[in-house]
Amino acid sequence: MQVPLIRLQCGVNSYEWGKVGHESAAAKFAAATPSNKLSIQQEKPYAELWMGTHPSLPSKDVETQRSLLDMVQDNQALMSTEISKKYDEKLPFLFKVLSIRKALSIQAHPNKKLAEQLHEKDPKNYPDDNHKPEMTIAVTPFDGMCGFRPLKEISHFLSTVSSLRSLIGESAAKDFENAVSGHETSDSEKDVEKNKKALQAAFSTLMKIDKSTIASAAKELVASAEKEGEKFAGGGGPSNGGKELADLVIRLNGQFEGDIGLFVLFFLNYVKLEIGEAMFLKADDIHAYLSGDIIECMASSDNVVRAGFTPKFQDIPTLTTMLTYSYAPISEQKMHPTDYPYVTLNSTAYSSSSSAILYDPPIEEFSVVKTELKKKGAKATFEAIAGPSIFICTNGEGTISVGPKTEEVKAGFVYFVGATAECVLESQSEDFTTFKAFCELSGKESANGTK
């Protein structure tokens, strides 16, 4: 019987926003597994390393070159019968490494029902019928935009950024301010619903403005940012200072001159993640990644509804109608990882402050464990779970063992571990870091919040 430990060869996508050449972690990790299809070109951008069974870029067994999809479909025990049946014999999650040099599109991912409708209507731009909640974990310092700002901040920017107010128009700006004034932070269901409608109206007004008008207003905005510095945008808001916002506007204009995204940023939270920090994005949440290397895990889908910071297909009508229009400070978007309870560290691991940290979003398709073994000989033994796992090493070197089979692990090595298999990681360096994505249905909430 085959031991369910399979080293994977994973593909890397070359999108324009990716880091170039050997600066890209996605490229370096992909190149760690020899392939006649990949030779890193120093001027070429490498954006995403994909680990999973998604047909757009499926992972393969290094030894046999069979796709992981073929293997899990041939042998349901690799994922468990329950997970195989529930997810049509496909891995429930798509695991990625992203290396971001410049802004990704302002985007959201559809919920399951909308994904089915979009795929049926426009399969070219919406290639599958699945939803795509996702989680981001910073591997290097990261910044991005995520979710709508608190309403008081949006009102502040409407009153202090003249080019933004002119774009939206005095009438629409006043309608928003009057609608939310006095109950911006109210928990009342009636107030929240009223606030969301006001936010949708103001945001939709902005998004429907023609490109030439946006480009003209952007020149005024950038000139203000360059001139005003710390005083820009009324000195900023509680979340971001004026200088920080001015620098952001100038930087993004250098990447996408005159783009609507320069104004969208006043509606969205601007977030910075330090290494190890994470955020979770539900389906229908608006976001845009701006820079950094991240581990990303999501439901297995490639559906993106875009509107800004991109030359690709944009679907503004769908975006403005699909969003939740939830608004909150970025602190509520960040995740709070906990110790992973189903791992045993040996004495060397304990004495060196090694750790196994769980990032556990409120959905059933995936969770992620980050393991840091900080001394040679440190060992982490993961209990068997009733679902599949994928491991990637991002730093250091060591070994991975399942039953009698032991394999070497270095930065960029990726392994699939089958369901019900105990797995052991052992460090052969002073800092051995891995990320494990896994699915186990027992006790997890579903994507719609039910058990």
- Is 287 among the annotated ligand-binding positions? yes
Q: How far is CA 110 from CA 22, 95, 323, 375, in A?
A: 33, 18, 9, 43
- Is 177 among the annotated ligand-binding positions? no
- Is 107 among the annotated ligand-binding positions? yes
Phi first, then psi: what are they for 15, rounded to 5°? -95, 155
Token pair recorded at residue 368: 């992620």
Q: What is the pLDDT of residues 22-65, one digit of tens each?
A: 999 999 999 999 776 778 999 999 999 999 999 889 999 999 99
- Residue 449 is predicted with a pLDDT of 37
More confident residue, 187 or 132: 187
Name which of 149-158, 299-308, 378-387, 405-414 the model is least confident about. 299-308
- Residue 448 is predicted with a pLDDT of 37
Residue pair 163/209 in contact by the 8 Å Cβ criterion:
no
Closest CA to 125 of 282, 321, 317: 317
pLDDT at 155 over 70: yes
pLDDT at 130 over 80: no
Indicate the pLDDT class of residue 395, thresholds 50, 70 and 90.
very high
- Is 134 among the annotated ligand-binding positions? yes
pLDDT at 247 over 80: yes
CB-based contacts of 71, cutoff 8 Å, min separation 6: 6, 61, 78
Q: Across the strands, what pairs with 94?
A: 298
- Residue 109 is predicted with a pLDDT of 85
- Residue 364 is predicted with a pLDDT of 92
Closest CA to 409 of 399, 424, 394, 396: 399
- CA atoms 298, 299, 301, 305: torsion sign: negative
Half-sphere exposure at residue 383, Cβ-oriented, CA atoms within 13 angstroms: 8
Mean pLDDT score, 170-191: 95
Mean pLDDT score, 160-181: 97
Q: What is the pLDDT of residues 93-103, one digit of tens each?
A: 999 999 999 99
The reply to whether the predicted model has a pTM over 0.75 is yes
- Residue 372 is predicted with a pLDDT of 98
Catalytic annotation present for 306 = yes
Q: What is the mean pLDDT of the chain?
A: 93
DSSP letters spanning 178-246: HHHTT-TT---HHHHHHHHHHHHHHHHHHHTS-HHHHHHHHHHHHHHHHHHGGGHHHHB-SSSBHHHHH
Mean pLDDT score, 366-389: 97
Mean pLDDT score, 351-371: 96
- Residue 325 is predicted with a pLDDT of 95
Indicate the pLDDT class of residue 391, thresholds 50, 70 and 90.
very high
- Residue 218 is predicted with a pLDDT of 98
Q: Indicate the DSSP class of residue 383.
A: P
Q: How many CB atoms lie within 10 A of CB 168?
A: 21
- Residue 132 is predicted with a pLDDT of 78
CA distance 105 to 56: 19
Residue type, 179: A
CA distance 393 to 87: 26
Name which of 246-255, 370-379, 416-425, 437-446 the model is least confident about. 437-446
Q: What is the pLDDT of residues 294-335, one digit of tens each?
A: 999 998 777 788 898 988 889 999 999 999 999 999 888 899
- Residue 128 is predicted with a pLDDT of 76
Q: Which residue has the tokens 């107010």?
A: 165
Give the active site residue among 7, 101, 149, 306. Answer: 306
| Three-state DSSP state, 69 | helix
pLDDT at 450 over 70: no
